[in-house]
Amino acid sequence: MGSEADQKKIINSIFTKAAEGSRIIKDAEPLRPDYVPPKLLFRDEQITAVAQIVAPILRKQRCSNVLLYGKTGTGKTATARLVLNELRLKAQEFKIPVCLCYTNCRLAGTEYRVVLDLAESVGVKIPFTGLSLGEAYSRVAAQISDNNLNFLVVLDEIDYLAKNSTGNLLYELTRSHEKLTPGGISLIGISNDLRFKEMLDPRVLSSLGEEEMVFPPYSVEELRLILKERVKLAFNDGCITEGAVNLCAALAGSEHGDARRAVDLLRVSAEVAEREGKARVEEHHIKIALQKMEQDRLIEALRVLPLQAKLILLSVIKSEDSSSTGSIYQTYLRLSSRVGVETLTARRVSGILSELDMQGLISANVLSKGRYGRSKRVSLLVSKHLVLDVLTQDPIIAAVI
């Protein structure tokens, strides 16, 4: 324990640094995940196409619905927001009444919350709870037809709605142009999940996918140039080396060219360098940042595992010496009865082990195909301490660790 004077000195130096601000970062805003840069590189084709699709809104017509697809960090959200911003400005310039809404379905979380966003955009008040989805939606629809509104809605991460809800809202929205006269709703749906079409009601899909556009991943070279632009906006001159930027691009491009990951790496590496008291981000800071991000990703993946999967993972750890599926199942039986949850069959447990394998948390290799089915050798692929740390945060699991 330091003396009183020592403690004050520590606190003082932390606060002085905070008050002086960052030496590396001149503006943190461009490093935020939802920042829309003034210019998007390598996306002229997509921007032009989206602008052409939505342009009829300015002639007071409905526009075609469109689906934008592509892996994460390929610029879909940024493209949609950029075009929407310009559309709003143009409508103001020409005094054309338009009604625009951008909402992220994953962040909204439920169909009802999406309707709340729509309601706010069309200027109708809806209580936070108490109405059925149908009633809430009818009020939005009534407002649109009563006021003859031309409503353009961007539903970002729309796959979340298809996976986690009844699908009623998408159904209502896509057939609105048959029902709503006058006024109308046009939709831009955005999805990171390429298989999401398979989950949609065919009627919804045929309406939503009037137009479709795929956003390809960026090449490492493209990422490098995107990062260089971002560095100019966010970093003080000379506060990151060229080698560090190149490494960021190479690492972010190693899975698929993901600009979000690239920008996240920049931000986290600046934090790392700053905490080390350095005035410049160098390559080794990027490597530390990558480890930190991967660890955060892993912690999050472990945290959100269902209870049974957590128990099974714990069983893997606790049956370390004999890591066959049989002995893991024995451990699981013991743990699950102590916890007091439903006991799954060996077959279900084996299925969950395969899922954990697919998530990269364990590896499960088939050992032999004996009379009693296949036996697998299972081993943990991630740090045991980290897994135990995260599992302890779950009070039910903590009781048997």
Q: Which is nearer to Mg ion, 68 or 328 (CB)?
A: 68
Scan residues 18-37 and list those touching ligand ADP (CB under 6 A): 33, 35-37
Strand, helix or coil at 153? strand
Cα 157 to its chain centre, rounded Å, is: 8
- Contact flags string 260-299 toward ligand ADP, x per CB under 6 A: x--x------------------------------------
Distances 363 to 316, 355, 390 between C-alpha atoms, Å: 11, 10, 19
- Contact flags string 206-245 toward ligand ADP, x per CB under 6 A: --------------------x-------------------
Strand, helix or coil at 185? strand
Decide: 356 and 381 in contact? Cβ < 8 Å: no
Q: Which is nearer to ligand ADP, 232 or 374 (CB)?
A: 232
Contact between 74 and ligand ADP per CB under 6 A? yes
> From CA 371, how far away is CA 373, in angstroms rounded?
6
Q: How many helices (H) and strands (E) does the chain have?
A: 19, 7
Decide: 312 and 331 in contact? Cβ < 8 Å: no
Decide: 65 and 187 in contact? Cβ < 8 Å: yes
Q: Which is nearer to ligand ADP, 170 or 252 (CB)?
A: 252
Decide: 234 and 25 in contact? Cβ < 8 Å: yes
Cβ burial of 48 (10 Å; 0-12, 13-18, 19+) is exposed
Task: Tell me the residue type at 149.
Answer: L
Task: Tell me the residue type at 35.
Answer: Y
Report the run of H or E that residue 4 belongs to, with start and end: helix 4-20
Contact between 259 and ligand ADP per CB under 6 A? yes
Q: Which is nearer to ligand ADP, 172 or 264 (CB)?
A: 264
Contact between 77 and Mg ion per CB under 5 A? yes
Place of tokens 């779950």: 394
Contact between 196 and ligand ADP per CB under 6 A? no
Scan residues 39-68 and list those touching ligand ADP (CB under 6 A): 40-43
Q: Which is nearer to ligand ADP, 244 or 353 (CB)?
A: 244
* 217 interacts with, out of Mg ion, ligand ADP, none, CB within 5 to 8 A per kind: none
Options 22, 62, 73, 189; binder of ligand ADP; rule CB under 6 A: 73
* 250 interacts with, out of ligand ADP, Mg ion, none, CB within 5 to 8 A per kind: none
How near is the Cβ of 390 to Mg ion at its closest, in Å?
27
Closest residue to bound ligand ADP by CB: 75
Contact between 343 and ligand ADP per CB under 6 A? no
Q: Which is nearer to ligand ADP, 78 or 144 (CB)?
A: 78
> From CA 221, how far away is CA 95, in angstroms rounded?
42
Contacting positions for ligand ADP (CB under 6 A): 33, 35-37, 40-43, 70, 72-78, 192, 226, 259-260, 263
Contacting positions for Mg ion (CB under 5 A): 77
